[in-house]
Amino acid sequence: MNILIVTTCPSGIANSVIAAGLLEKAAASLGWNAIVECHNTLEPAKLLTVDEISTADLVVVAGNNIDIARFTGKRVYQADVMEAIPDAKAFLQTAAAAATVTSAEAVASQQTQEKTKVSPMSKRIVAITACPTGVAHTFMAAEALEEEAKKRGYWIKVETRGSVGAKNALTADEIAQADVVIIAADIELDLSRFAGKKLYKTSTGAALKKTAQEVDNAFASATVYQASSSGAAAKTGKAELPGVYKHLMTGVSHMLPIVVAGGLCIALSFVFGITAFKEQGTMAAALMQIGGASAFALMVPVMAGFIAYSIADRPGLAPGLIGGMLASSIGSGFLGGIAAGFIAGYSAKFVADKVKLPQTMEALKPILIIPLLASLFTGLVMIYIVGTPIASIMKGLTSFLSGMSGANAILLGIILGCMMCFDLGGPVNKVAYVFGTGLLASNPNVPSLPMAAVMAAGMVPAIGMGIATFVARNKFTDAEHEAGKASFVLGLCFISEGAIPFAARDPMRVIPSTMAGGALAGALSMLFGCGLMAPHGGLFVLLIPGAISNALMYIVAIAAGSALTGLMYATIKPSQEVQTA
């Protein structure tokens, strides 16, 4: 039998891809010939052709918001994507038995129902999700909000501000018709387009783990947002990040793509030999120039610039960039960049709020007065007051870490490992990661031991949860087994957030298990003297010769930590019968 499989999910990243793979495999086990159209944000969907549709015996649609008009005259079965994941084979067999021929009248009825769902009588929500790295929390929080709204019969549209930019962008008409705006963000965003709308702020973590509560809070306590008051009129959720940390994460989120791109370019230069970049005119030298001389040179200024931007909006960007460049030139590194960003941001905000000019000269403030005064103040403070002491601290810290061995190195590895696994991509995790990337960037030509410990520990939680679902199969549901497989793959890619679904259900057992494994992985990485030249990539960095020093023992450290996490959680997790009793 020839079947067509179409999958989609609210976030377009996890469930759609998982369902597509499971259904294709199930179809093969049934001896059916399957062609898959998977809608996801990772890559454009390969749409079914007219010929493929015409020759199909059955069309299986796993997901909503799929136009079935093109399947008129074919046998079609449509259900929620989550129904396909627990038992894909049974899902296909049900589809084959229950599918009905789609008529023009059925298509018209579906379109009418969709219009009814978004009628003015139903509650309408628009939302934005954004996390510092723009990878996992951004999309998982979006999917959680969409699922919760769907349960309640609300209309919702979520704009994701991920690492690839804004997706599913909100239109002016959608914003105008919305009853409430939910901003689930860990970084500062431009909210001017929501002026006059009822707006509620929270974090991606709260939106993901306490979705129902946050939606209730949004309708109960959101207040009208006034752009001129820098968001002061908008009700803020208790879970929203503190101001200082949020400003820091705004800078970090803009810095990370530069660090990752630069670090991987540097690592690629070692493919041609560890010292090949010293020979001018070679590809190795070009890669080092791109990564070390250009990307890493931008790291601190960009971080400082966007910390200031988060504090003072656009007027803070220029003094922040200038302060960050000064921090780099005087050798104060990422610590100096952080200081420069806050000095520039708060000085720019002070000038904007306190300096009063005649109405005829007010237009000069954002383009002349604020940049000039804030840049002068920031520059002079960095040069004469802050810069030199911080440069000495950075130099001492780098020297101390370079000379670390024995118990001191192991202790640092344990601390970094525990931090990476405590909140799985949250504030503590990000502090440890920024520490590692900052040290790597301060000396990009030398393998960084702390960076290696950070990445090793960060891979443990998600891999460990995958191991636990495999070792203690009887303690997990079918859905958790599938989540475990996805978590394992995410862990290999250094995405700690793969363990979040498990931590959200059982935090008191999952978090201690992940921290134990992370501490072991970090300690062993430091003990074995493993160094890393790239700030991201997970185990796939092993494909780059020279990117990891002592690579074999690095794999041992990750495997040991992951095994400890997996076995520990598999042991302490109660059986399904106990949980449901």
Report whether 438 contacts 338 (CB < 8 A).
no
Q: How far apart are the C-alpha atoms of 124 and 220, rounded to whole Å?
A: 14
User: Given the structure tokens 């079609």, which residue do they identify?
Assistant: 76
Kindly give the interhelix angle for 551-572 and 449-471, rounded to the nearest 10 degrees. Answer: 40
Short-list 161, 338, 316, 371, CA closest to 251: 338
Contact 304, 317 (CB under 8 A): no
Residue 256 has which token pair? Answer: 């990370």
Contact between residue 57 and residue 2 where contact means Cβ atoms under 8 Å apart: yes
State the Cα–Cα distance between residues 333 and 515, nearest whole angstrom. Answer: 29
For the chain, the straight-line distance linking the first and the last C-alpha, in angstroms and rounded, comes to: 44
With residue 182 as reference, give the H or E element that holds it. strand 180-185
> 118: which residues sit within 8 A by CB, 6+ positions away?
124, 155
The C-alpha angle with vertex 262 and arms to 261 and 265, in degrees rounded to 5, equals 85
- DSSP bridge pairs for 62: 7, 79
Instruction: Tell me the HSE value of 249 on the side-chain side, using a 13 A CA sphere.
Output: 27
Catalytic residue among 9, 38, 265, 418: 9
Identify the three-state secondary structure at position 6: strand
Give the whole-angstrom CA distance, residue 66 versus residue 17.
16
Choose, from 38, 131, 418, 421, the residue flagged as catalytic. 131
421 catalytic, yes or no?
no
What residues does 159 pair with on adjacent strands?
A: 128
Structure tokens at 443: 């000396």
SS3 at position 319:
helix
The β-bridge partners of 157 are 126
Residues annotated catalytic, as ranges? 9, 131
